[in-house]
Structure 1
Amino acid sequence: MIVALCSAQRLHRRRRSNTNSYRRKRLDRDSYTQSTLCKKYVLHKPLIIYTDVETIDLFPNITQEVENAIAERKRVWKKYRKQKSKKNSNPTKPASIPIIPRAPDLAEIASAASHVEENFKLYDHGHVRVFDSATNKLIAAMHFTDMTEMDAGELDDYKFLCLFLHQAKKFVSPVASKAGGFPPVNTVPVLR
């Protein structure tokens, strides 16, 4: 027996499906967020924002200098490989010094700061979650706590964490810095 659905029934099913789809997406998003973040209970509803992710370059001059250095290195290596393929040729191997971007000067920092002030939104209170609208992935989760409302135990824990991070930063060095890695005096040769 074939039963034909009237337009009202089709509309009702579509509406119910859309509602359930939205509910499923919301529950998936919440479960993903809870599995990624801490399990601490939030007393108020979080502000959920969907945004398109855009890559921006705050220091275009530095990026251009690095791209030029990379292009120059590729050109030198191509020339080296071409000379190496010739018979009776013994070209010198190009140096493989890491390309490290220079630090921005004051004018570039001021330009980047003005761009951030004009185009970025400032969040300063509550619980904010930012999701990528294309992939529905969590970009940022921010929870602001008023320090005047913290009890003594929480404030002591917070101060301990800040002090620990401040004291531990001397042991962390960027990978691209000259101090990256262990100094030769502290390394032990491996016997084979």
Structure 2
Amino acid sequence: MDLPQNLRSDARENRDRVLAAARELFAEHGLDVGMREVARRAGVGPATLYRRFPTRQALVDEAFAVELGVCRAIVLDGVADPDPWSGFVSVVERLTVMNAANRGFVDAFMATDRPGTAIAEHRRSLLAHLAHLAQRARAQGRLRQDFVIQDLVLVLLAGRALATIDAADRDAAARRFAVLAVDAFRRGPVPHGAR
């Protein structure tokens, strides 16, 4: 694939329009959007789209490059927090709010398991960081002992529906959903007589 700095200005403009159209459509409708629809929204022909992005996965990886960076920063900030519970809560809250704004990113993050794709590698790496953070929060006694990383994945999948809420209400709904999720992850008091 041609790097943007190596393209003529008209080719770079076409590439940028394709990426902008893909980002908008994926955010609004998820990954079910067809390549021809992306080309149509960008105002380019399918041949132009395929010249710059020969596969759907190449377009998806590039369209979500910014979100991948933001997601990585959220997780690494949480991992760096000296208080593992605080770091875990921050990750849940920030990822939930981020994901509510972009339906397609959640779809791509959860669906891509093919090794070698940017999103699959990102997912593998970040889930490993999150598993380590969860282990620290469990050891601290704040995270429920039966937590597994798939529990967080399940919450992210459930939160996917937040993207369908009216934009004016979406942020508040995402924050409330995150509070409820954190409460579900929190280790409750141990009943009298139980271990």
| TM-score where L is the length of structure 1 | 0.21
Bigger Rg over Cα:
1
> Normalising by the residue count of structure 2, what TM-score does the alignment of the two structures yield?
0.21
Higher helix share: 2
| Higher strand fraction (1 or 2) | 1
